[in-house]
Amino acid sequence: MQVNEASWRELLRGKYQGHIGFNAPMRDFTVLGIGGPADIFMTPDDPLSLRNLLALLKEKKVPSMALGKGSNILVRDGGIEGVVISMNAFGRIEVLKESDDHAELFVEAGVPLQRLVNFCRERGYSGIEGLAGIPGTVGGALFGNAGSYGSEIKDVVASVAIMDADGRLDRYKAEGLGFRYRGSDILPTDIILSANLRFLKDEKDRVSERTERFMKEKIQSQPISERSAGCVFKNPEGQSAGRLIDEAGLKGMRAGAIEVSRVHANFFVNNGGGTASDYLDLMGRVAAIIEKKSGLTLQPEIRVLGRP
């Protein structure tokens, strides 16, 4: 896409508040630290700016996608066509209702999931202790129904506010959003603005103890301080992708700077300077070996985006 910075700014003058960047390297916006440039990178400050931006994108037929913290995506080396919309400026948490046994929160999409986990832990709101240690935002967690240790974000969702590509804002009940294992019916062109989440109340110490226990387990079993995108493959029915890769002896297998983690075989880590093509090469080789050994076809859990 040919981007004329001056005319793009001019088209949005008076209609948009927030950051606008051009030719933005996606390696700076992903946990993996990989990815070519997005043509345009925008961080709207408010829903009206977002709506006006979407109207312009529709009129100019420019593709777009929402971004949280980039902890579940692999951006190809050719970068991203069109506009990446970061929701990081949407960062409010509000208590809507609280009774002796329940609490309901309004949480915006850009809130880091761990800020929410800590907010709940400090107040004794129970339901997402198992999500302790999962990086990313609430928006990203809702899009992919993030989960761990038997909990999923869907367990606490009452409703989600979504703006579609036409700029229409609607609130959807959880039951209508098709939440499933690491997925939902939310469209790649939809933008999640916020969610109303419902929690059970419990003793603060008990919520805190469970949150810490899950966090410790995560630190021990996953390479959380290294550059990765979380689990590469979904678990096949009744199986663990990590165990299959480990049992095939593939820990430490490499393509360039990308390596099958020695801590958890379903994480591929970037040891520095890795490329998307190396990452995809390693994914393909690992999946082919597992298919040959077990007959199972591994499906990606990470989302692969962008121009080849």
Read off the tokens for 210.
């469970």
Contacts of 174 (CB under 8 A, 6+ apart): 154, 157, 158, 159, 160
Q: Does 73 bind ligand FAD (CB under 6 A)?
A: yes
Radius of gyration of the chain (CA): 20
Query: DSSP label at 282?
Result: H
**What distance in Å separates the CA atoms of residue 98 and residue 148, rounded to the nearest whole number?**
26
E strand or H helix that includes residue 254: strand 254-255
The answer to whether residues 32 and 101 touch, using CB atoms and an 8 Å cutoff, is no
The span from the CA of 302 to the CA of 308, in Å, is 16
161 lies in the binding site for ligand FAD (CB under 6 A): no
Task: Give 160 or 287: the residue with its C-beta nearer to ligand FAD.
Answer: 160
For residue 70, state whether it binds ligand FAD (rule: CB under 6 A).
yes
Q: Is 167 in the site for ligand FAD (CB under 6 A)?
A: no
Give 20 or 219: the residue with its C-beta nearer to ligand FAD: 219
159 binds ligand FAD (CB under 6 A): no
Is 261 in a helix, a strand, or coil?
Answer: coil
Least distance to ligand FAD, CB of residue 75, Å: 10
Of the candidates 34, 8, 11, 95, the one whose C-alpha atom is nearest the C-alpha of residue 228 is: 34
Q: Does residue 109 bind ligand FAD (CB under 6 A)? A: yes
- Residue 71 in the binding site for ligand FAD (CB under 6 A): yes
Pick one of 43, 72, 88, 275: the residue that binds ligand FAD (CB under 6 A).
Answer: 72
**Residue 274 makes contact with ligand FAD by CB under 6 A:** no
Binding status of residue 36 toward ligand FAD by CB under 6 A: no
Binding site for ligand FAD (CB under 6 A): 31, 65-73, 87, 109, 134-137, 139-141, 143-144, 146-148, 190-192, 222, 224, 228-230, 303
